[in-house]
Amino acid sequence: MTLPAVSNDQRCPETDGQLSAAPEQTNTRIDLSKVVSVKNLQMQLNIPAGFLPDFIAEANMAVNRGLIAKAVDLLNDDNVAKASQIAAANPMQADVIYFMLALTFQKTRQLKKAARWYKKILEHQQNALVLNELGCIYQNIGRLSDAMEYRRKALQIEPDNPGICSNYAADLMLAGRTQEGITLLQNALRANPGNALIHSNVIWYMHYLPDQNPQSLLEEATRWGQMHAPMSLAKTCHENTPDPDRRLRIGYISPDFRKHSVAYNFEAFLSGRNSETTEVYGYASVSHPDEMTEHLKKRFDRYRNVFGVVDAEVAALIQKDKIDILVEIGGHTGDNRLAVLAYKPAPIQVDYGGLSTSGMKQIDYRLTDSLLDPPEVHKFYVEQSVPLPGGLFCYSPPQFAPPVAPLPAKRNGYVTFGSFNGSLKINEHILSLWAQVLNADENSRFLMKFPGARDQAMKDLFLKQFEQFGVSRERIRIESWKPSAEHLKLYGEVDIVLDTYPFNGCITTLEGLWMGAPIVSLVGRNSLLSRTGLSILSRIGLEFFAAATPQEFVAKTIAFSQNLDALAKIRASLRQRMVVSPLCDTKSYAASVEAAYRKMWYRWCRSQGVDTPDEKVNRKFGDSDLAGVSANISGDI
């Protein structure tokens, strides 16, 4: 059995919803080991017509359409009891019914119920697909140790399965075993050299290596482009009307139109766009639609669900829609649709927010800013870098955010440092710097929060690392996932946030600043992902909270923590700083993005022999409003 490559966030793929309507008895056992993927399950297993209950098909179709509440209603106790009775009457096919029940519960985020039905199958057979899906469930509910155990069992059955290898690599990464996870993926890629998603996962996880360098990322991404997105696929002639000043049709394609940090930044952009000059199409490749999916859906002029649709068909749809500029959001992340852009269905193609180069010659431009990507690093990108004047990031603060709390150190009598970034971003190097800060003040505390903290083994992993650096576990508090309002409220217990490195926080940094918690961020020289903190801090006049070296990171943090009065003043000013900054100016942000699109369009029109004003074509992309900030990140409170 071979599974498809599974995404980095461990979500499981959809079925197509084309299932039969009523039970019919059969005497042939349906073998789950024949399953290639959970798509088109009925066809793969030769399930007899009328075998599966109709509510399962209806629930799957409801999920595919984003109607989660309807799907949950269909999975009521009475329907599930009937399905169980059908399974009892058809013992040769019971496992398929159990599997479809489990998968449907999983897609509606009823994970404990899903696990129950998957485990029913394991009573009859040790199946790699089922074990892998159980790993997905336990990883999602924060029980990483259990997830890894199921995944190990799955690998014993199918050691070269690319999907299981990909998922187990993600488990290893979450457990802080970064190099081991990358090595596993590299071995899986050697066994499956044509698997584009496994190759993308290798590139994605390389970003987490403390010693990663952009040249290595460029080389690996270029190999990806040559192997999986050859230029021979690209359309070379486009029929778009080259009118320089007409309303543009912009298409956005992404797997992340859901509750994801990328979606929050993108939603802020959509809320400020100019509908008179642009028409926006959304091509959503979302495996589990949620409330954010539905929210974004309403922001588009046209919305297409392309999850599970093959790349060539998606490209044909985009071409049929006559998209002028196609924008890819996500880069080499899980479930990405980069391969669609290999066909060059639009005359202009853009990367929005990718952490490094796509490696694809078919992508013309990438949006960035001059602090994330100073001119000396542009050589590490295949695409032309387009800096936005106000920065790449935009933030739309949630209405439910509580007020900024007073500085907790003045109430507690000790300073609390914190990090709410995922465990993937925490490595021994940055943890050693945090420990140096804590060791400088034996009364200080540290508050960590990440989804996997529900697993005591994960807590113990970090507590032991702190102890190895001389910090007792009694000073470390570790929290797990919380609802959004409670998550934001928790920043009220943190005096200073400490950023991760080399992979800086983004949405966590913006949230912390909105909640009054300044962040000290270590700045890398050649990597966008290690300069995110600098870019964000500079937009609110706090670039002196960025540190150029590990030693400066420790020294600055200690100095800031010893000046509570100044820290309290900054805390009280942060929300207003955000309000008046480019970070929260959605209209100006959207205008800068759309101005960049228009300039790209002028250039394409000129290439088609259409006259455009010279100054609009020849003027360089760029932003100069923060020139020199990167070199001047020293300062006092």
For the segment 103-115, the average pLDDT, to the nearest whole number, is 93
For the segment 80-102, the average pLDDT, to the nearest whole number, is 88
Q: Per-residue pLDDT for 200 more than 80?
A: yes
Does residue 459 share a domain with residue 374?
A: no
**Cα-Cα end-to-end distance for the chain:** 60
pLDDT of residue 89: 85
Does residue 532 share a domain with residue 618?
A: no
Does residue 625 share a domain with residue 574?
A: no
Q: Is residue 116 part of a domain?
A: yes
Does residue 230 share a domain with residue 349?
A: yes
Does residue 156 share a domain with residue 36?
A: yes
For the segment 131-141, the average pLDDT, to the nearest whole number, is 93
Share of the chain above pLDDT 90, in %: 72
Q: How many domains does the chain have?
A: 3
Q: Per-residue pLDDT for 113 more than 60?
A: yes
pLDDT of residue 48: 59
Q: Per-residue pLDDT for 37 more than 70?
A: no
Tell me how far CA of residue 550 lies from CA of 141, 417, 437, 499, 524, in angstroms. 34, 17, 11, 12, 10
Q: Is residue 207 part of a domain?
A: no
- The tens digit of pLDDT for each residue in 275-323 reads 999 999 999 998 878 888 888 999 999 999 999 899 999 999 999 999 9
Residue 472 banded pLDDT, cuts 50, 70, 90: very high
- The tens digit of pLDDT for each residue in 313-371 reads 999 999 999 999 999 998 998 889 999 999 999 999 999 988 899 999 999 999 999 99
For the segment 511-525, the average pLDDT, to the nearest whole number, is 97
Residues 362 and 348: their CA atoms lie apart, in Å, by: 9
pLDDT of residue 62: 85
Q: Is residue 13 part of a domain?
A: no
Residues 357 and 373: their CA atoms lie apart, in Å, by: 12
Question: Comparing C-alpha atoms, which of 19, 46, 50 is closest to residue 30?
Answer: 46
pLDDT of residue 33: 52
Q: Is residue 387 part of a domain?
A: yes
The per-residue b/e assignment along 122-134, b for 16 or more CB within 10 angstroms, e otherwise, is beeeebbbbbbbb
123/249: higher pLDDT = 249
pLDDT of residue 610: 94
pLDDT of residue 567: 98
Q: Is residue 596 part of a domain?
A: yes
Helix axes 162-174, 178-191, angle to 10 degrees: 170
Q: Per-residue pLDDT for 233 more than 90?
A: yes
Q: Is residue 219 part of a domain?
A: yes
In CATH, what number is assigned to the domain containing residue 255?
A: 3.40.50.11380
Does residue 600 share a domain with residue 576?
A: no
Note whether 221 and 357 are within 8 A (CB): yes
Share of the chain above pLDDT 70, in %: 88
For the segment 385-398, the average pLDDT, to the nearest whole number, is 95
Q: Is residue 511 part of a domain?
A: yes
For the segment 36-49, the average pLDDT, to the nearest whole number, is 54
Does residue 594 share a domain with residue 457?
A: no
pLDDT of residue 264: 84
For the segment 389-401, the average pLDDT, to the nearest whole number, is 94
- The tens digit of pLDDT for each residue in 560-583 reads 999 999 999 999 999 999 999 999
Q: Per-residue pLDDT for 29 more than 80?
A: no
Question: What is the SS3 assignment for 437-494?
Answer: HHHCCCCCEEEEECHHHHCHHHHHHHHHHHHHCCCCHHHEEEECCCCHHHHHHHHHHC
Residue 51 banded pLDDT, cuts 50, 70, 90: low
288/158: higher pLDDT = 158
Partners of 365 in the β-ladder: 350, 384
Q: Per-residue pLDDT for 614 more than 70?
A: no
Domain boundaries, position 106: 32-175
With a CB cutoff of 8 Å and minimum separation 6, the contacts of 148 are 135, 168, 171, 172, 175
For the segment 35-64, the average pLDDT, to the nearest whole number, is 67
Does residue 549 share a domain with residue 517?
A: yes
pLDDT of residue 622: 59
Q: Per-residue pLDDT for 23 more than 60?
A: no
Residues 345 and 328: their CA atoms lie apart, in Å, by: 12
Mean per-residue pLDDT over the chain, rounded: 88
Q: Per-residue pLDDT for 636 more than 90?
A: no
Which of 5-14, 109-118, 429-438, 619-628 shows the lowest per-residue confidence on average (mean pLDDT)?
Answer: 5-14
Q: Per-residue pLDDT for 491 more than 80?
A: yes
Residues 415 and 493: their CA atoms lie apart, in Å, by: 10
Q: Per-residue pLDDT for 454 more than 60?
A: yes
Q: Per-residue pLDDT for 8 more than 80?
A: no
Which of 86-90, 377-381, 630-634 shows the lowest per-residue confidence on average (mean pLDDT)?
Answer: 630-634
Does residue 153 share a domain with residue 278?
A: no
3/414: higher pLDDT = 414
Beta strands in 116-206 (DSSP E): none
Q: What share of the chain is helix, strand, coil (3-state, %, to 5)?
A: 50, 10, 40
pLDDT of residue 228: 96
Q: Which two tokens stand for residue 151?
A: 């995944």
pLDDT of residue 7: 35
pLDDT of residue 49: 56
Does residue 363 share a domain with residue 236?
A: yes
- The tens digit of pLDDT for each residue in 68-83 reads 889 999 999 999 999 9
pLDDT of residue 28: 42
Question: What is the SS3 assignment for 64-127?
Answer: HCCCHHHHHHHCCHHHHHHHHHHHHHCCCCHHHHHHHHHHHHHHCCCHHHHHHHHHHHHCCCCC
Q: Per-residue pLDDT for 251 more than 80?
A: yes
Q: Is residue 25 part of a domain?
A: no
Which of 13-17, 55-59, 149-153 shows the lowest per-residue confidence on average (mean pLDDT)?
Answer: 13-17
In CATH, what number is assigned to the domain containing residue 162?
A: 1.25.40.10
DSSP string for residues in 254-312? ES--SSSHHHHHHHHHHHH--TTTEEEEEEE--SS--HHHHHHHTTSSEEEE-TT--HH
pLDDT of residue 3: 25
Does residue 241 share a domain with residue 256?
A: yes
Does residue 257 share a domain with residue 125?
A: no
Which of the given ranges, 183-197, 252-266, 555-569, has the highest pLDDT on average? 555-569
